[in-house]
């Protein structure tokens, strides 16, 4: 029977191997996206620097990370990743490769920005109040064939 006070030699060797094979975590320096010229930003994100700053100001409370553990993305980077996805409509892998983040990060950024925009929907999208709702719905149907629910 083995002595309970001695460590198993196999466990000690496994710990040594794990430490030897562990990769160092590589943390890339993030670019300051807002330092690029407006034509570059409009080409990539379809927004100017001032528009991105405005979006950041209204969306930051809903998308910013509370802690900065693990070198999390800033709210500007999260917004730019989502804007690039919205502007491009490409696969998450392509956006991640272009922005130097993982597919999962792109997915979380797009979801967080979409939910934050949804929360602000009724602050920015309002039906005209001077006409009855029925006439507005009929107008939508005449213009684009959009059938609105009867409420």
pLDDT tens for 89-104 read 889 999 998 888 999 9
Higher pLDDT, 8 or 110: 110
Using the predicted structure, report yes or no on whether residue 3 has a pLDDT greater than 60. no
Q: For position 149, what pLDDT does the model report?
A: 67
Residue-wise pLDDT for 104-135, tens only, equals 999 999 999 999 999 998 888 776 777 787 88
Residue-wise pLDDT for 35-79, tens only, equals 999 999 999 999 999 999 999 999 999 998 777 676 778 899 999
- Domain boundaries along the sequence of the chain: 33-119, 126-151
Please state, in angstroms and rounded to a whole number, the distance separating the CA atoms of residues 72 and 105. 10
Q: For position 151, what pLDDT does the model report?
A: 52
Over the range 87-107, which residues count as b (16 or more CB within 10 Å of their CB) and which as e? Answer: eeeeebeebbeebebeeebbe
Q: For position 131, what pLDDT does the model report?
A: 76
Using CA of residue 92, residue 27, residue 73, residue 115, what is the dihedral sign? Answer: positive
Which band of pLDDT confidence, cut at 50, 70 and 90, is reported for residue 86?
Answer: very high
pTM for this prediction: 0.69
Please state, in angstroms and rounded to a whole number, the distance separating the CA atoms of residues 96 and 63. 18
Q: For position 148, what pLDDT does the model report?
A: 64
Of residues 94, 75, 85, the one with CA closest to residue 34:
75
């Amino acid at each position: 029977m083995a002595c309970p006070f001695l460590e198993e030699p196999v466990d000690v060797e496994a710990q040594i191997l794990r430490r030897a094979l562990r990769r160092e975590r590589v943390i890339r320096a993030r670019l300051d996206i807002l330092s690029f010229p407006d034509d570059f930003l409009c080409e990539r994100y379809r927004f100017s620097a001032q528009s991105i700053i405005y979006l950041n100001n209204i969306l930051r409370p809903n998308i910013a990370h509370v802690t900065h553990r693990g070198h999390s993305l800033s709210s500007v980077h999260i917004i730019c990743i989502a804007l690039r996805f919205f502007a491009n409509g490409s696969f998450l892998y392509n956006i991640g490769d272009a922005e130097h983040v993982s597919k999962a990060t792109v997915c979380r950024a797009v979801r967080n920005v979409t939910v934050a925009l949804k929360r602000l929907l009724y602050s920015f999208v309002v039906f005209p109040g001077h006409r009855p709702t029925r006439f507005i719905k009929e107008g939508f149907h005449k213009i684009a064939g959009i059938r609105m629910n009867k409420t």
